[in-house]
Chains A and B, each alone.
Chain A
């Protein structure tokens, strides 16, 4: 999968899940339901983590934009200048991995998916992310 598509999909999926959870919670609270979904510790943690991850993403990307603007271009002979995209690459990886960890935690806890299976899928994702970001740094592929 293309890195840009993966990044956009992970972001939108996080927002979607957060939106659905908020819809369910707000509807339950407005109708005075005795046991809301946040009574469950796992859902409460996931909801909190999602909210934190999505709000921190914006702050981090603001910082990355600042780094990109402030970076001084150095034209070295025979060198490939990758400094302006390093910061963005790292944040892209952090956001994707952060949201993925929250997403994979749900079936792992509720349906009892083996941690080995989840770990394997996470490792493959991490590997492809590193390779993708490395390829962008080196100018092999675009975003």
Chain B
């Protein structure tokens, strides 16, 4: 059973982790949306930068690389206890799907 922190749990010892965890008390999926947004930003940045540099880009590779980055960020988030186990499972499975599709359908 996961208990979500609120303002009452903030004290001198709670640190940056406690402060970052506050939004999850009102909406448990807060950090999930942040991660989804970061995933979209990283993947689109990689894709359009590659397109600009080479003239063409591989969207699937960009999505997969962004997935690796999000898994690492989520792991850091879980250490700070702002990403709960349930959200971590969603993030892992979604990113595994993207990585799997990239493995099977990339031309190289």
What residues of chain A have their CB less than 8 Å away from a CB belonging to chain B? 1, 9, 12-13, 16-17, 20-21, 23-24, 27-28, 31, 33-37, 39-40, 42-43, 103, 106-107, 110-111
Contacts and interface: CB of A to CB of B under 8 A. Distances in A.
A140 to B, nearest CB: 24
Nearest to B84: A35
Interface stretch (B37-45, B55-63, B71-79): B71-79
Interface SS majority for chain B = helix
A62 B89 CA distance: 35
A94 to B, nearest CB: 19
Contacts of A42: 89
A53 B87 CA distance: 27
Interface of B: 2, 71, 75, 78-79, 81, 84-86, 88-90, 92-94, 96-97, 99-100, 103-104
30 contacts: A1-B104, A9-B103, A9-B104, A17-B96, A20-B71, A23-B75, A24-B71, A24-B78, A24-B92, A27-B79, A28-B75, A31-B79, A33-B78, A33-B81, A35-B2, A35-B84, A37-B78, A37-B88, A37-B89, A39-B85, A40-B86, A43-B89, A103-B96, A106-B93, A106-B96, A106-B97, A107-B97, A110-B89, A110-B93, A111-B93
Contacts of B92: 20-21, 24, 37, 43
Given A9-B103, A40-B85, A110 B90 contact: yes
Contacts, number: 63
Contacts of A21: 92
Interface SS majority for chain A = helix
A37 B74 CA distance: 12
A106 B93 CA distance: 6
Contacts of A33: 78-79, 81
